[in-house]
Amino acid sequence: MDDRESPEFFPLFESLGAEVERKRLLVGDFICSDNTVIERKTRADFESSILDKRLFHQVYNLKNNFKNVVFVIEGISSEGRISRSALMGAYASLATDFNIGLFFARDMEGTAEIVYSIAKHEQLAEKRPLSISPKRRTFTLSQTQRSIIEMFPMVGPKLAKNLLEHFGSIEGIINASEEELREVEGMGKKRIKILKSVAVNEYISDDDPLY
C-alpha cells in the first residue's frame, strides 16, 4: 500500500486477515501482485482528475507498469462538477479504450474488501508473486515531452503534437509569443490565454495541499 494512503486501512485489512506493507509506490495505490495494481480515487478526486487531465496521464503510467489495472471509485454520490455524460464517458473510456477494471465502493471498508479479494485471488488462487517495487517502464523523450504539454488545460494529444512540431521543444512553446502561438492550428485566444497563465503565474503552495 502506498504510504500516502490513509493508515485507517491497516485495521480494515487486518480484520480481513491480510498482511500489508506500507511504503512509497512509484505508481498505483495498492499492489496485489506483479501483474495487478489498484488505483483508488474518491468521487471528488476522480472528477478533479478529469478536469485537470491527470486521469489519462496516470492511466498511461499504470498500463506501462502492470498487465492488469483496476480503478476503485469510492463514495456515494458525484460531486457534480462535471456533467453526467462526461463522467460516464470517462468510465466508458477506461473500460473500453484501456481495458481497465472498474469497481465502485461506498466507503473505505468497501475499498478494503475489493483490494483484499483481488490480492487474495492473485497471490493465493493464481499463485502469482508480489513485488513491491515493480520495474518502471518510461516513455521515450518525445512521448514524455508530449505528455507534459497535454497536461495544460484544453490541450489534447493532437494539439500537443502540433505545438511540439511547430516550436521544436517545450521551451519553445513556453517562450512563444501570443502571435506565434496563433500560427498553430487549434490555438485560439482562450487556449493561448490559459497556456500563458499556467506558464507564467506564480506557484501558490497553499492552493496545492499534498494531503
120 with 146, same domain: the answer is no
At residue 146, the pLDDT reads 85
121 with 160, same domain: the answer is no
Question: In this structure, is residue 209 part of a structural domain?
Answer: no
At residue 211, the pLDDT reads 46
Question: In this structure, is residue 136 part of a structural domain?
Answer: no
The pLDDT confidence band at residue 139, using thresholds 50, 70 and 90, is low
Domain boundary among 70, 96, 125: 125
Q: Is a pLDDT exceeding 60 seen at residue 132?
A: no
At residue 209, the pLDDT reads 63
108 with 158, same domain: the answer is no
Query: Considering only CA atoms, which of 184, 139, 147 is closest in space to residue 165?
Result: 184
CATH number at residue 39: 3.40.50.10130
The pLDDT confidence band at residue 200, using thresholds 50, 70 and 90, is confident
At residue 92, the pLDDT reads 94
Domain that holds residue 162: 141-202
CA distance 161 to 187: 12
CA distance 30 to 1: 5
Question: In this structure, is residue 134 part of a structural domain?
Answer: no
CA distance 48 to 154: 14
23 with 116, same domain: the answer is yes
32 with 108, same domain: the answer is yes
Question: In this structure, is residue 41 part of a structural domain?
Answer: yes
pLDDT digits (tens, 9 = 90+) for 51-94: 888 898 889 889 888 889 999 999 987 767 888 898 999 999 99
Domain boundary among 80, 99, 125: 125
pLDDT digits (tens, 9 = 90+) for 99-125: 999 999 999 999 999 999 999 998 887
Domain boundary among 125, 158, 189: 125
Beta partners for residue 42, in sequence order = 74
CATH number at residue 197: 1.10.150.20
- Residue 127 phi/psi, 5-degree rounding, is 55, 45
| Residues of the chain above pLDDT 90, percent | 50
pTM of the model: 0.62
Q: Is a pLDDT exceeding 60 seen at residue 131?
A: no
108 with 29, same domain: the answer is yes
96 with 174, same domain: the answer is no
Of the segments 10-19, 46-55, 56-65, 195-204, which one has the largest average pLDDT value?
Answer: 10-19
Beta 101-105 vs 68-74: how paired, if at all? parallel
Domain count of the fold of the chain: 2
